[in-house]
Amino acid sequence: MVFFCVYSSVSLLSGRMQYVCAFFDQERKEFELKCVREQGAMREQLQVHIQTIGILVSEKSELQTALSYTQQAARQKTGEAEELSNRLQATKQRVSELERTLSSVSTQQKQFDKHNKELERERDNLRLEVYRLNSVSEERRQQSSELSEQLKLKVSENSAMRLDLNELRKRLEMADVMLQQVDTHTHSPHTLSLSFVLQLFNSLLMESVAQLQTERDRYAEQIQEEGQVWKDKTEQLLSQVLYATTPLAEPIELLRDNEQLSRMCSEQESRLSELERHAERGAEDAEDRRRMLEDVQSDKATISRALAQNRTLKDQLAELQNGFVKLTNENMELTTALQSEHHVKKELGCKMGQLQEDLHNFKEQLELKSLEYQALLEQRDQIVAHLQQYSAGYTALASEREQLHRQYLQQSQLMDRLQHDETHGRVQLEMSHKQLEQYQERLERLSRDNEQLKAEVTELLNSSALATPPRDQGDGVESQSLPESPQKSSIAIPEDFESREEMEEFVRDAVARVEAERDEVRSRLEEERRLHLASRHQAAAPSMEFQHHISGSEGVPVEVHEALCVAMEKLQHRFTSLMQEKADLKERVEELEHRCIQLSGETDTIGEYIALYQNQRAVMKQKHTEKEQYISMLAQDKEEMKAKLAELQDLVMRLVGERNEWYSRYAGMVASTDTTANPDLLAPSDLVQRLPPDSQALRPQEDGTARQIMQLLQEIQGPRTVPFLGDNPCIPFFYRPDQQDEVKILVV
C-alpha cells in the first residue's frame, strides 16, 4: 500500500513534470517566436537607423567638403576684395595726385593770368609810348614839311643869290682887272690900302666860310649818326612794341605791320635826311650870299645868328640825346621784359602741353577705372549670387542639422533607455543570482535530504519483502530532460575598423544582440524561476508525503532518487552555464559602455564642429554685410566723382570758350586797329574805350568760372573718409619742377 502510494505520488510528480516541461516548451517556443519577431523589428529599425546614420554621415562629409569649398571661395573672394580695395586706394591716390596737379596747374594758370595782365598793362604803356613817338614823328614830319618849304624858299633865294653872286664875281673880276690896271698904272697908297683891306676882308671871309663848312660837316655827320641810331632804336622799339602788342596767334600780320612801319620810318628818315641836306645846302648858299653880298657888319650879324642857331641846334641835340638815352633804357627794359615774357610763355606752353597730356591720361585712367568698377560690380553681383546660394545651402544645412540633432536626441534617448534597461537587467541578474544561490542552498539541503531519504529507502528496501513490479516504461522522470542550456553567445570584436560607419554599425548590431540576449536571459530566468518554484513544490509535496508516510512505509524507490539526482545535476549545469553567460554579458555590457562613451565624445565633437560652422557663417555674414556697405559706398563715391568730373569738364569747356571768345574779340579789335592804321594813329586809351562791353564783362565771368572750378577742385580734393580703408590712408605726394623743367615726385 505504501509502495502504491509512493508510485502514485511519483506518477503524479512525473505527470506534473511532463506538464511543466510541455508548458515550458510551449512558452519557450512562443517566447522564441516573439523574440524572433521583436529581433526582426529591431533589426529593421536598426537597419533603418544605420541607413539614416550613413546618410547623415555622408551628408556630413559632403557638407564638410562644401564648407571647405565655401571657405576656400570665401578666402579667395576676401583676397580679391582686399586686392580690389588696394587697387581702389591706388586709384584714389592717383586721383588725389591728379587733383593736386590740377590745383597746381590752376594756380600756375592764375599766375599766368596775373602776368598776362601785367604784360597787357605794359603793352598799353608801350602803345602810349608808340602813340607819343608817332606824335613826335608827326611833329617832325610837320617840321620837315616846313623845312622843305623853307628849303624851297631858300633854293629860290639861293638861285637869286647865285645870280647876284655871278654878277658880283663879274664885278669883282672887273674890279680886279681895274686894280691890276691901276697897279700897273699908278701905285698910289690909297689903292694899296684899299687892296690890302680887300685882301684882308677876303681872307677873313674865306676863313669864316671854311670854319662854317667844317662846322656844317661836323653837324651833318652828328645828325646822320644820331639819325641812324634813332632809326635803329625806333626800328627795334617798333618791332618789340609790335611783338608785345600782337598775340601769338598772328605772327604773319605782325611781321607785315612791322615791315610797313619800318618802311615808313625809313621813308621818313630818308625824307628827313634829304630835307637836312637841302637845309644845309640852303644854309650854305644863304651864308655864301650873305657873306658875299653884305658888309662886314652884315657878316657879323650872320655869324652871330649862325652861332645862335648852333646853340639852339646844340640844345636840340642835347634834348635828342637825352631822349635817345631814355628810349634806349626803356628799350632795354622792354627787351628784358619781352624776353622774360617769351620765356614764361614757352614755359606755360610746355606746362599746358603737359597738363593736356595729364588730362588725357587722366581721362583714360578714369575710363579704365570705370571699366574696372563695372567689373567689380559684376563680381559683386556674382559674390551676392554665391552668397545667396551659400545662404540657401546654409538654411538646408541648418534644417539637416536640426534633423540630425533630433535624431541625435532620439539616439541619446535610446541609449539612455538601453542604459536604464541594462542597469535594470543588472539588478535583475543580481537578484536572480541571489535567488540562484538561495536555490542552490535549498538544492543542497534537498540533496542532503534526498541522500538521507535514499539511505532510508535502501534500508526500507532491504527490510521490505515486497516485490516491486517490473518497470517497462519507467516513471518518465529520467526520460524527461530539461531544455538544453543556450549556447554561449560570443561577439567577435575586431581590433580595427575600416571606417566610422562600420564601427557604428557593429556597435548597433552588438547592442541589438545584447538586448536580444538580455531579453532571452530575462525570459530564461523567469522560466527557471517558474521551474524552480514548480520543482520546489513538486519536491516539497513528495517529501511531505514521504515524511507523512514514513511511519507506515519502508523507503523511497531508487528510480525516483536517481531521477531527482539527474534533475539536480541538470539544474546545476544549467546554473553554471547561466553564470558564465552572465559574466560574458557583463563584459559585453562594459565594452558597449566604452563604445557608447566613444560615440558620445564623437557626438560632442560633431556639436563643436556645428558650433564652429555657425560662428564661421556668422563671421562670413558680417563680412558680407560690410562688403556690401563698402561696395555701396564706393558706388556712391563713384557717382559723386562722375558728377563732379562732369561739372568740372563743363566749367573747363566754358572757361576755354570764354578765353577763346575773349582772344578772338581781342584779335579782331587788334586787326581792326591795324587795318584802320594811318599816320594819325589812335591812342591806346581810345582803343580801350572802343572795346565792346562784352569783352570787358568776360573777365568777371571768367573769374567766376575759375572760382567755381577751384571750389569744385577743393570738393574733389576733400572726399569723404571711408571707414573700410583701415589704417592705410592715402599718401600724398607733390610735384616740383627742377632746373630742366622736369617734374619729379616727392613722396611725403
**pLDDT over 70, % of the chain:** 51
Q: Tell me the three cell numbers of residue 402.
A: 536640426
Q: Per-residue pLDDT averaged across 713-736, rounded?
A: 46
Confidence band, pLDDT 50/70/90 cuts, at residue 48 = confident
Residue 746 backbone phi and psi in degrees, to 5? -110, 115
Is the pLDDT at 124 greater than 80, yes or no? yes
Question: What digits encode the pLDDT tens for the residues 75-103?
Answer: 887 888 788 878 888 878 888 887 787 78
| Per-residue confidence (pLDDT) for residue 535, from 0 to 100 | 62
Q: Per-residue pLDDT averaged across 110-119, rounded?
A: 82
- Please tell me the least confidently modeled range out of 52-56, 357-361, 696-700, 714-718: 696-700
| Per-residue confidence (pLDDT) for residue 691, from 0 to 100 | 45
Bigger pLDDT: 35 vs 487: 35
User: Among the ranges 33-37, 220-224, 333-337, 546-550, which has the highest mean pLDDT value?
Assistant: 33-37
Q: Which of 748, 654, 639, 662 is nearest to 705 (CA)?
A: 654
Between the CA atoms of 412, 418, 420 and 424, what dihedral angle is there, to the nearest 10 degrees? 180
Is the pLDDT at 223 greater than 60, yes or no? yes
Is the pLDDT at 569 greater than 60, yes or no? yes
Q: Which residues contact 195 (CB under 8 A, 6 or more apart)?
A: 179, 183
Question: What digits encode the pLDDT tens for the residues 334-350?
Answer: 777 777 767 777 777 77
Cα separation of 277 and 482, whole Å? 176
| Per-residue confidence (pLDDT) for residue 354, from 0 to 100 | 76
Mean pLDDT over each residue of the chain, to the nearest integer: 67
Confidence band, pLDDT 50/70/90 cuts, at residue 176 = low
Q: Which of 91, 354, 137 is nearest to 238 (CA)?
A: 137
Q: Which of 480, 451, 474 is nearest to 555 (CA)?
A: 451
Confidence band, pLDDT 50/70/90 cuts, at residue 540 = low
Is the pLDDT at 153 greater than 70, yes or no? yes
Cα separation of 631 and 80, whole Å? 13
What are 736's strand-pairing partners?
744
| Per-residue confidence (pLDDT) for residue 707, from 0 to 100 | 66
| Per-residue confidence (pLDDT) for residue 16, from 0 to 100 | 72
Q: Tell me the three cell numbers of residue 709.
A: 572750378
Between the CA atoms of 411, 413, 417 and 422, what dihedral angle is there, to the nearest 10 degrees? 60
**What angle separates helix 2-185 from helix 500-548, to the nearest 10 degrees?**
160
Question: What digits encode the pLDDT tens for the residues 276-310?
Answer: 676 677 667 656 656 666 655 555 565 567 667 66
| Per-residue confidence (pLDDT) for residue 554, from 0 to 100 | 42
| Per-residue confidence (pLDDT) for residue 555, from 0 to 100 | 47
Is the pLDDT at 556 greater than 80, yes or no? no
Query: What's this model's pTM, rounded to 2 decimal places?
Result: 0.22
| Per-residue confidence (pLDDT) for residue 122, from 0 to 100 | 80
| Per-residue confidence (pLDDT) for residue 544, from 0 to 100 | 52
497 within 8 A of 508, measured Cβ to Cβ: no
Exposure letters 705-714 (e unless 16+ CB within 10 A, then b): bbebbbebbe
The per-type count for the chain, helices as H runs and strands as E runs, is 8, 2
User: Among the ranges 518-527, 629-638, 693-702, which has the highest mean pLDDT value?
Assistant: 629-638
**pLDDT over 90, % of the chain:** 0
Question: What digits encode the pLDDT tens for the residues 579-611?
Answer: 787 778 778 777 777 777 777 777 777 777 777
Bigger pLDDT: 273 vs 111: 111
Confidence band, pLDDT 50/70/90 cuts, at residue 442 = low
| Per-residue confidence (pLDDT) for residue 722, from 0 to 100 | 44
Cα separation of 374 and 368, whole Å? 10
Cα separation of 369 and 87, whole Å? 10
Is the pLDDT at 553 greater than 80, yes or no? no
- Please tell me the least confidently modeled range out of 18-22, 182-186, 390-394, 647-651: 182-186
| Per-residue confidence (pLDDT) for residue 621, from 0 to 100 | 81
| Per-residue confidence (pLDDT) for residue 396, from 0 to 100 | 75
SS3 730: coil
Domain spans, the chain: 2-65+386-463+498-620, 123-362
Separation in Å, CA 112 to CA 107, 137, 367, 468, 667: 8, 35, 31, 156, 19
Confidence band, pLDDT 50/70/90 cuts, at residue 248 = very low
- Please tell me the least confidently modeled range out of 110-114, 222-226, 243-247, 508-512: 243-247
Question: What digits encode the pLDDT tens for the residues 671-704?
Answer: 776 555 444 444 434 444 444 444 444 444 545 6
Confidence band, pLDDT 50/70/90 cuts, at residue 433 = low
| Per-residue confidence (pLDDT) for residue 729, from 0 to 100 | 38
